[in-house]
Every structure is written in C-alpha cells, then in structure tokens.
Chain A
Amino acid sequence: MLKYDVLIIGGGLAGLSAALRISPGIDAVVISKVHPLRSHSVAAQGGINAALANHPEGKHDSWELHAFDTIKGSDYLADQNAVELMCKEGISTIYELEHMGAPFSRFPDGTIAQRPFGGGGFPRTCYSADRTGLVLLHTLYEQCIKKNIKFLDEWLVCKLVIANDKCLGVIAIDLSSGKIVPIKVKAVIFATGGYGRVYLRTTNSYINHGSGIGIAYRACIPLKDMEFVQFHPTSLYGTNILITEGARGEGGYLINKEGRRFMEDYAPHTMELAPRDIVARAIQREIETGKGVNDEYVYLDLRHLGAEKIKKKLPGIREIAINFARVDPIEAPIPIQPAQHYSMGGIDVNEKCETIIPGVYAAGECACVSVHGANRLGGNSLLETIVFGKIAGIQASQYVREGYSDTQNEQELHNSVKEIKQKIKTWLSRTSGTKAHELLNRLKIVATEMVGIFRNEKHLSIALETIRQLKEDYNKAHLASSNLKFSQELINIVEFELMLDLAEVIAISALNRRESRGSHYRTDFKERNDEEWLKHTLVTFTEKGPQISYKDVIITKYKPEKREY
C-alpha cells in the first residue's frame, strides 16, 4: 500500500500552488490523471486580477475596490470575508509569481501590465499576452521541480475513503497498467478542477469530467451552489475553444448579423465589458430572436484594433481563430457563441479550504469557498487557484503536524479496492449493454438544452427525469475492451457515474432556486429575491438521493444592492 502524509489530487494551478506550500518534512505527492502541464489551467488566457494600480487609469485602485467589484459581480452571493481575503492576498501573490519567473507583459515603466476585464472598475487584470494560464502553470511546475515535489502522473483517483469521520485515503487507478491501488494518507487536497464536459458546448478540456467533485460528494461531503454554472460569452463557433475576455478588454466589439453593437441594449454603460452572465445572456438572446448569424452565433470583431495590436496582445487568439476556424481576426470577425466555461459551485469549504471532514481540503474550481457567488468575474479564477491552493497547502500541513492521530483501520481501504475490482469485473462480464460514451452524449445534450443559460421549471424537471433514467441505464453499462492499459474507456465508465451525480445536483439545485441571480436565470422567476434566496444551496449525498439544505451568506460591509452595469 502506498502511504503519504498529504495527497494533492490534481496538478493544475491550485494543486501545484498547494504543493509548494507543504511544510518541509511532510511527505506529500501530487497525483494527477494527466501530466501536470496538460491540466486545464494551461488553457486560461486573459489574465489574473490584482489591484496593483499599475495602469495609468487605475492609480486609485485598491484591494477593497477589487473586493467590491467581485461581490457585486457575484450578485451578492459570495462570502465577503473570503473575497476580502482573496483580493488582499492577490497583490502579494502576483509579486511572488513574478519573482518565481512568471513572464508577465509589461508597461513602458517596467511594471506588470494590466488590462480591463468585465465587471472591473479599473484595469486590474495582469497578463502575459493571451497565454496567462500557460505561463503560470509552467512557472509553478518549474518551482515544483526546483523543490523536488513528488508526482504520480497518469493516475486516476476514483474514491475517497473516510473512516470514523476522518480522511483515511483514496483508491486510485494507475492508468499505465490499469491496476487498482489503495493509498493511505493523513490529509487530502482536492484540486481537481471543473466539470465542463457534462455540457455539450464547453470551453473546457476533454479531461474536465469533474470527477473530483463527484468523489467528494460520494463521500458525503456537501456540494455548494452547484446551480451556478458560468457560460462564457465568447467561445469559438464549432469547437467552443475559449476566446478570451481579454479580446474585449483590448477593445473588441460584439456585433450581431445586422452589424450592430447590440450590448448597448443590455449594458449601455459597460457595453462589451459587462460581467459574463450578462454578456452571455445578451448573445443568447440575440441568437434566439433571429439576430444571430445562421441562428447559431454572433461576431467578435477585432479588426479595428489593427494588425500590430492583435499580433502583440492577442497572438494566441489569432492562432486559434486561424487554426480552428480558418478566420484571421485581422481581416474578418470571429464567429462566437456562449459555452459552458466554469463552475462557481463545488465542494463546500470555508476560507481555510476545510470541508466538513477533518483532513479533507479543496481549492480552485472544484471548491466553493465561495468567492464567486452566483457569477465569477474574469481574471478571478486564476487568482483563486493560487491564493486558496496556498492556503490549502498550509492548512493541510498544519493538520498533519498538529491535528492528525493515527487511529485508523486500513481494512476500509482494502474493502474499497475489492469493491472497485468487482465493479470492473461486472462491466467486463457484460457482453452487451450501453457504453459510457453513449450515455455521456445523451447527458451532454440534456444539460445544454435544459440546464443552460435560460432555465425554467419544466425544462429542469425534464432534465432531472432524464438524468435519473440515465442512472438506470448506467447500471447496464459495459466495458468492451479487457485491456485496461491506458484505457480511456475505463476512465469514462468510472468518471461517468460521478458526472451523472453532478448533473443531478446541478439540476436539482437549479430547480429549487426560484429566483434569478448571476448566472442562474429562471425565465419563470426573473427577479433576484434577497428575502428568500440570499443563501447558499448545499446538497448532500444520501442513499435515498440528494438532500438539500441552505446556509447563510457571510456579509461584512457590502450591502446587497441592485446590480446595474
């Protein structure tokens, strides 16, 4: 049996940030189903927010103003103490990244460059052209090499084992062999990212199945605010690859088929730089009322920025548009449509990244602190991964040193190994039945059509019913190939069960929240209703099905007010 003090699941920004903060002397390992540099963090483009006040128009910026923008952007559902912590820490975090070698773009005075982003009162998004995720992930990985951090690459964690209400370990599959391996740990940090691939149209990588969130849920750790799903306004039509908000930050226009900048109808003051929920709804509305091109997309027009600016500030976007849509943004507008992008909800944690189970922590997109509430501002997710990854690493180290006592019986781990082996045997023994990817395709369609940008009771009920039907069908799923080495079929069948759980939790949370707030828009309850719904949704797994409860939002000094842009 493998044994470690701390197991960090996921090698993206949150995971690596946590790994770098594990105290010396503590035996930690990062376990990841892909090589860490293949994590989805690598795909982040536009930047990371912090009130550095470097921009000539942002000299009066402060972390308090950053907190206010974040809270207003969240439609007042974020926990304000956590937001304040993140925005305050943000400034030193950027300086630290810079000292680690992150190649940020620069202003003429040599300071870190900042660009405007949606919902931000000042230009405060620090960036490295339009490949900020790539450079930050590489920078943190480089630091991990320097510090000799241990890695288990291409291992899929498939179960969290809790005994006596404490963390005991996990069960993982070594993907290179297909072997099922128990790992005993004192503490575990989930840094497993989002579940974008529950949706048909998503900017997320193929690997974003969200199984980490599902594993925590199956271990009876509550999920919070799962109805809040962010749809990014601008994904490339066809492949739904992300086209950064930075393109609008640099001055890009959104135009409908009539060639009109339609954002003036929806957010006359901030136009294209309104928060994402508002812009995504506006685009969807244009498409649904016949003002989209071919009823499918609108245009992101960068032509007026000129060739030099596009090549310098948005080289990655240009490369993507040329490679994947055969459009050079210097010469033609980019066809875009909204697509699932981010999960505001996730594993319920407090501002110390603690779950309800001692020794189990979560950070980054898989977690819900909550700093994004009902809608995340662009540029805040990279910040969250690094700030809260760090906190999770510190907290887990402290727990191992001070809070942990080994009274655990390893038998529970062996039982879980047997249980998973039995499951695989059953899947292999079936000679016919449904394959996981077929079920997954059905799930994606229902999620996109029924639990999308515009929601209502009827659609959400249909979604729930379909998801429950899919759960039945899953019980007949089978594995066609018995070779389990590097078997994506095996990964799919293991993760798909958890994706169904997540879809169910998203739909049930959305069905219950009878108001519109941030990204959650109900066409049958169009207004925000603070009196009844200024609270977080919690969903807990039980054998009988998901159980819903609610908890208060933490408010420090920013009183909820009407959200206008």
Chain B
Amino acid sequence: MEYIFKIFRFDPEKDKEPYFQEYEYDFLPNVSVLEALIIIRNELDSSLSFRYSCRGAVCGSCGMIINGNPDLACRIKLGILNTKEVVLEPLANLEILKDLVVDMVPFWKAYREIRPYLHSENKFPEKEQRISEKQMERIYQFINCILCACCYSACPVVSKDENYLGPAALAKLYRFVKDPRDRRPYSFLKKINTQEGAWGCHTIFKCVEACPKDVRPVDGIEGIRRKLIIEKLKRFFGIKK
C-alpha cells in the first residue's frame, strides 16, 4: 500500500523554522514505523535523523509522536494506524537537536534527581537478602519502565513547568520506595514533597495513556503521596521522629 509519510524536519543550525517533509513509499501493512523510517532514510533521504536500537520495544530509543500519540516506532505496525498518512514528530517537552532526535538531558536530569539507586548499607554480601515474591510483585510494574520518555512528552504539567520531575522519574522513585531493601532516609523524600515533585501531578493520566510498557506512572506518584502523608502523620503523632 502507498503510504504518505509527513516527517518533522529541523536542524537548528541550518533551518530557520521546522517544516514537514513528505515521502511516499509502498509498504506492507506489517512493516513497523521504525522499519519504514529506515527504508525511507536508506532509499529516499539519508539526511533524516532518528534514534533506534533494539527494535523489540525494550531499549527505549525510538520514542516519537506517531499520528499525534507518543509511542515507540518499533512496536507500531503501519497497518494498525488505519490511515495511509503517517505523521511523525519528535517527542514533545524536549528541545530538538535534529529532526526526530531530541535533547534528553532534562529527562535524565530529573531521573538523577530522585537518586535512582538502592540505598542500602553496602556490606559485602554472603547471601541474598530474603524477600517474598509478594513484596517483589509490588515493584514489577515499575521495573518494566524503559525510560523512553513517552510519558514525559505527554505530560501536560511538564509542558508548563520545566522544573517538574515528570512521570518517569517519580515512578522510578516509587520503585525504590516500595523495595523492601531500600533504606532511603525520610529527609530525602521531604525534598520531593513539593509542587515540582510529588504534588505537581494533576492526575490527568496522559502518562498512563502514553506508556508503551503499561507502567502506569500515576500509580507510582499516588503511592509516593500516600507515603508522604503517612510519614507526616507518624511524625505528627510522635510515632517516628
């Protein structure tokens, strides 16, 4: 079937303004958007830039906006788009470096800010720490996150407030908060007890819609809020200091 691709083009050093370039090509409907992009680049225009790696929806490289929805280009087959017009744009809420390649620095900065690592007393281990599968199950949803930034791109709060940590970083934080091995001090959680942190989310659920891995970041954000309230109450009633 003949598809018409309208692809966002922009090189900040060369172009005054972004523009859309059209490419027509005959593809089978079981070709993915990523495969199509690679063919277009190879056959029609080698100046086209986009990121990719695993093509199996696990590395998080190829997030982009496909006919209006943030998703991974590798997992979307042309056939399911139900239209022969395919509009491809870079992820939103991030600066454009070239064409579909965005500057991920703010996204990684937010990720680093939540201190995304297990806080534990790092003794040399002789055995594993025993944890029940039930406890592990509570974090499985969140370890599925591949940090593709589709949620970050979809988040209406990020678009208004660039200091907001965003759904992926907060969901990652909850992954650690919920891990029975994590010994993160409350003083750290207090730091995100702000509008730029846990309270910034307006629960519009755009991130849940956008996530290609069913992480449901809002669940994590609400979990952190619950934790913050409980910890505050404990301190109010003098159960904890």
Contact of B116 among A100, A142, A479 (CB under 8 A): A142
Q: Which residue of A lies closest to B14 (CB)?
A: A483
Interface assignment of A547: CB less than 8 Å from any CB of chain B: no
Task: Give the contacts of A437-477 with B (CB-CB under 8 A).
Answer: 437
Q: How many residues of A contact B (CB 8 A)?
A: 62
Chain B residues with Cβ below 8 Å from A481 are 45-47
Task: Give the contacts of A322-372 with B (CB-CB under 8 A).
Answer: 323-324
Among the stretches B49-57, B194-202, B225-233, the one at the interface with A is B49-57
User: In whole Å, how far is A166's beta carbon from the nearest beta carbon of chain B?
Assistant: 33
- Whether the Cβ atoms of B143 and A96 lie closer than 8 Å is no
Given A98-B125, A205-B59, A110 contacting B30 (CB threshold 8 A): no
- Whether the Cβ atoms of A106 and B143 lie closer than 8 Å is no
Q: Mark B146-164, 1 if CB is under 8 A from A, else 0.
A: 1100000000000000000
In the bound complex, CA of A107 to CA of B130 (Å): 9
- Whether the Cβ atoms of A106 and B136 lie closer than 8 Å is yes
In the bound complex, CA of A488 to CA of B99 (Å): 13
In the bound complex, CA of A485 to CA of B115 (Å): 32
Interface assignment of A424: CB less than 8 Å from any CB of chain B: no
Q: Mark A96-118, 1 if CB is under 8 A from B, else 0.
A: 10111101111111111100000
Q: Which residue of B lies closest to A99 (CB)?
A: B125
- Whether the Cβ atoms of B47 and A483 lie closer than 8 Å is yes
Chain A residues with Cβ below 8 Å from B30 are 238
User: In whole Å, how far is B213's beta carbon from the nearest beta carbon of chain A?
Assistant: 8
- Whether the Cβ atoms of A489 and B133 lie closer than 8 Å is no
- Whether the Cβ atoms of B118 and A483 lie closer than 8 Å is no
User: In whole Å, how far is A508's beta carbon from the nearest beta carbon of chain B?
Assistant: 29
Task: Give the contacts of A120-149 with B (CB-CB under 8 A).
Answer: 128-129, 131, 134-135, 138, 142-143, 145-146
Contact of B97 among A35, A205, A241, A486 (CB under 8 A): A486
- Whether the Cβ atoms of B131 and A106 lie closer than 8 Å is yes
Given A43-B54, A109-B130, A487 contacting B75 (CB threshold 8 A): no
Contact of B57 among A98, A107, A319 (CB under 8 A): A319
Interface assignment of A156: CB less than 8 Å from any CB of chain B: no
User: In whole Å, how far is B18's beta carbon from the nearest beta carbon of chain A?
Assistant: 15
In the bound complex, CA of A39 to CA of B139 (Å): 23
In the bound complex, CA of A94 to CA of B127 (Å): 9
Chain B residues with Cβ below 8 Å from A109 are 130
- Whether the Cβ atoms of B125 and A37 lie closer than 8 Å is no
User: In whole Å, how far is B41's beta carbon from the nearest beta carbon of chain A?
Assistant: 6
Given A94-B128, A95-B127, A128-B143, A145 contacting B54 (CB threshold 8 A): no
User: In whole Å, how far is A322's beta carbon from the nearest beta carbon of chain B?
Assistant: 10
Contact of B54 among A40, A142, A437, A488 (CB under 8 A): A40
Given A324-B75, A483-B14, A486-B49, A98 contacting B56 (CB threshold 8 A): no
In the bound complex, CA of A241 to CA of B54 (Å): 9
Q: Mark B62-93, 1 if CB is under 8 A from A, else 0.
A: 00000000000001000000000000000000
- Whether the Cβ atoms of B131 and A110 lie closer than 8 Å is yes
In the bound complex, CA of A358 to CA of B2 (Å): 56
Chain B contact patch, size range: 35 or more
Interface assignment of B58: CB less than 8 Å from any CB of chain A: yes
- Whether the Cβ atoms of B41 and A38 lie closer than 8 Å is no
- Whether the Cβ atoms of B56 and A145 lie closer than 8 Å is no
User: In whole Å, how far is A26's beta carbon from the nearest beta carbon of chain B?
Assistant: 20
Chain A residues with Cβ below 8 Å from B127 are 95
In the bound complex, CA of A239 to CA of B31 (Å): 10
User: In whole Å, how far is B61's beta carbon from the nearest beta carbon of chain A?
Assistant: 5
Interface assignment of B6: CB less than 8 Å from any CB of chain A: no
Interface assignment of A34: CB less than 8 Å from any CB of chain B: yes
Chain B residues with Cβ below 8 Å from A548 are none
Q: Which residue of B lies closest to A208 (CB)?
A: B53
In the bound complex, CA of A138 to CA of B175 (Å): 12
Task: Give the contacts of A362-404 with B (CB-CB under 8 A).
Answer: none
In the bound complex, CA of A489 to CA of B52 (Å): 14
In the bound complex, CA of A176 to CA of B14 (Å): 14
Q: Mark A36-63, 1 if CB is under 8 A from B, else 0.
A: 0111101100000000100000000000
User: In whole Å, how far is A483's beta carbon from the nearest beta carbon of chain B?
Assistant: 5
User: In whole Å, how far is A428's beta carbon from the nearest beta carbon of chain B?
Assistant: 12
- Whether the Cβ atoms of B59 and A43 lie closer than 8 Å is yes
Task: Give the contacts of B81-115 with A (CB-CB under 8 A).
Answer: 97-99, 101, 104, 112, 115
Interface assignment of B187: CB less than 8 Å from any CB of chain A: no
- Whether the Cβ atoms of B59 and A37 lie closer than 8 Å is yes
- Whether the Cβ atoms of A103 and B140 lie closer than 8 Å is yes
Interface assignment of A198: CB less than 8 Å from any CB of chain B: no
- Whether the Cβ atoms of A99 and B75 lie closer than 8 Å is no
- Whether the Cβ atoms of B46 and A485 lie closer than 8 Å is no
- Whether the Cβ atoms of A486 and B101 lie closer than 8 Å is yes
Given A99-B125, A101-B118, A142-B118, A131 contacting B58 (CB threshold 8 A): yes
Interface assignment of A435: CB less than 8 Å from any CB of chain B: yes
Interface assignment of B26: CB less than 8 Å from any CB of chain A: no
Q: Which residue of B lies closest to A101 (CB)?
A: B118
Interface assignment of A480: CB less than 8 Å from any CB of chain B: yes
Q: Which residue of A lies closest to B128 (CB)?
A: A98
Contact of A34 among B38, B61, B132, B144 (CB under 8 A): B61
Instruction: Indicate the member of B14, B38, B118, B120 with the most A CB atoms within 10 Å.
Output: B118
Q: Which residue of A lies closest to B134 (CB)?
A: A106
- Whether the Cβ atoms of B104 and A35 lie closer than 8 Å is yes
Interface assignment of B220: CB less than 8 Å from any CB of chain A: no
In the bound complex, CA of A320 to CA of B130 (Å): 31
In the bound complex, CA of A108 to CA of B112 (Å): 34
In the bound complex, CA of A324 to CA of B14 (Å): 38
Instruction: Indicate the member of B75, B126, B136 with the most A CB atoms within 10 Å.
Output: B136
Interface assignment of B181: CB less than 8 Å from any CB of chain A: yes
- Whether the Cβ atoms of B97 and A206 lie closer than 8 Å is no
Interface assignment of A65: CB less than 8 Å from any CB of chain B: no
The 3 A-B residue pairs with the shortest CB-CB distance, nearest first, are: A101-B118, A110-B130, A486-B49
Residues on A lying within 8 angstroms of B by beta carbon are 34-35, 37-40, 42-43, 52, 92, 94-96, 98-101, 103-113, 128-129, 131, 134-135, 138, 142-143, 145-146, 176, 205-207, 238-239, 241-242, 316, 319-320, 323-324, 435, 437, 479-481, 483, 485-489
Residues on B lying within 8 angstroms of A by beta carbon are 11, 13-14, 30, 38, 41-42, 45-47, 49, 51-61, 75, 97-99, 101, 104, 112, 115-118, 120, 122-123, 125-133, 136, 139-140, 143-144, 146-147, 176, 179, 181-182
Provide a sorted-by-A list of 19 A–B residue pairs whose CB atoms are within 8 angstroms.
A35-B104, A40-B53, A40-B54, A43-B56, A95-B125, A99-B181, A106-B136, A110-B132, A134-B58, A134-B146, A205-B59, A206-B52, A242-B56, A319-B57, A479-B46, A480-B46, A483-B14, A486-B97, A488-B41
Given contacts A106-B131, A135-B143, A483-B14, 13 further A-B contacts (CB under 8 A): A35-B61, A99-B118, A99-B129, A100-B118, A101-B179, A113-B133, A128-B143, A205-B54, A205-B59, A206-B38, A486-B98, A486-B101, A489-B47
